[in-house]
Amino acid sequence: MRTLLICPGERDAVAALSQHVPLAHVPVLGQTLLEYWLSSLAIQGTKDIGVLAHARQDLALDLVGNGERWGINAKLIDESRELTSAEALLKYAPELDAVAGGDSIIVLDHLPGHPELPLFSSYQHWFAGLRQWIPLAVTVDRVGTNETRPGIWMGSHSHVSPLAQICPPCWIGQHVFIGDRAIIGPGSIIEDGSFIEPGAELAESWVGPDTFVGQFARIRSSLAWGGALINWPTGSAAQVADRFLLCALRQPRGKRTPSWLARLSDIYARNKGEVGVLWKQLLLHKEG
């Protein structure tokens, strides 16, 4: 084993990010930190990688497997708690690259090549890291997302109304729906599966996966995931009670699976006048 990756589970400074999944699995422009690191190491020629996970090991196992996806030999190692780099080195030293030594242990608290951008010391650092990563997220082994206009990256399976206003730089993930007259301002990041209603406004904000943003929502300098809303400059957080302003479209389950969102998007495109009634009916019965 040449490299050991330590997957963080939670950090007090960004506690809301780990409410659904461990931090190593929180979506970062359509992929997880763990995926970015495995891709980066594989491109660098690293073949043997150990993944140290102590929370939701099932997610790590489903994602990593045996490493075949990246052309590497990967091994998931279960731990009862998150080890520090020093503890991991002491415990796994015989299995690590003798030349690299401590450098062969990586804590996944930053994006590959950017240790100067810590992600989990504050919500402000989290958002700053994602903003910096936008032009780098489409790695050589990634397909389905393209720079459609200078500074605007969009998934190939997303629908953006021609009447929406999209201002670079911004990221629009896969299976995203953006309605008429929505304003997606500079610095906006919309993760996979989210639905932005007509007239909604975003600027300098991150919208988590499978999140509904209603037509009267005005989200600025915030992180929105499900019904949670966090002001990233100050760290203040609130839970939005009005499900027609902000809510989760479904419960997070790790990897995204097909849902009724694609059908809703298609219905909306063909029957705009009926979408309000349809949406309220679906919200009231979505758990079924």
Domain end: 106, 136, 166, which one?
Answer: 136
Prediction pTM value: 0.85
What is the CATH classification number for the domain harbouring 209?
2.160.10.20
Whether residue 7 is predicted with pLDDT greater than 50 in this model: the reply is: yes
For residue 182, the SS3 value is coil
What's the CA gap between 126 and 250, in Å, rounded?
24
Edge to edge, the sheet with strand 105-107 lists 73-78, 48-53, 3-6, 105-107
Q: Are residues 129 and 149 in the same domain?
A: no
What mean pLDDT comes out for the span 203-228? Answer: 97
What's the CA gap between 10 and 55, in Å, rounded?
9
Q: Are residues 150 and 275 in the same domain?
A: yes
Q: How many domains does the chain have?
A: 2
Edge to edge, the sheet with strand 152-155 lists 145-149, 152-155, 170-172, 188-190, 206-207, 222-225, 228-231, 237-239
Domain end: 92, 119, 136, which one?
Answer: 136
Q: Are residues 47 and 116 in the same domain?
A: yes
Q: Are residues 126 and 161 in the same domain?
A: no
The secondary element (H helix, E strand) that includes residue 62 is helix 57-64
Model confidence over 66-117: pLDDT tens digits?
999 999 999 999 999 999 999 998 899 887 764 444 468 999 999 999 999 9
Q: Are residues 149 and 268 in the same domain?
A: yes
Q: Are residues 84 and 152 in the same domain?
A: no
What's the CA gap between 180 and 163, in Å, rounded?
5
Q: Are residues 54 and 129 in the same domain?
A: yes
Tokens standing for 183? 């304003």
The dihedral through the CA atoms of 231, 234, 239, 242 has a sign that is negative
Q: What is the DSSP string of 111-137?
A: -TT-TTS-SSS-HHHHHHHHHHHGGGS
Q: Give the domain extent around 25.
A: 3-136
Domain end: 70, 103, 136, which one?
Answer: 136
Model confidence over 116-169: pLDDT tens digits?
999 999 999 999 999 999 999 998 888 889 999 999 999 989 999 999 999 999
Q: Are residues 164 and 208 in the same domain?
A: yes
What mean pLDDT comes out for the span 55-60? Answer: 92
The dihedral through the CA atoms of 120, 121, 122, 125 has a sign that is negative
pLDDT of residue 23: 97
Cβ-Cβ contacts under 8 Å for 53 (sequence gap 6 or more): 7, 22, 24, 60, 76, 77, 78, 79
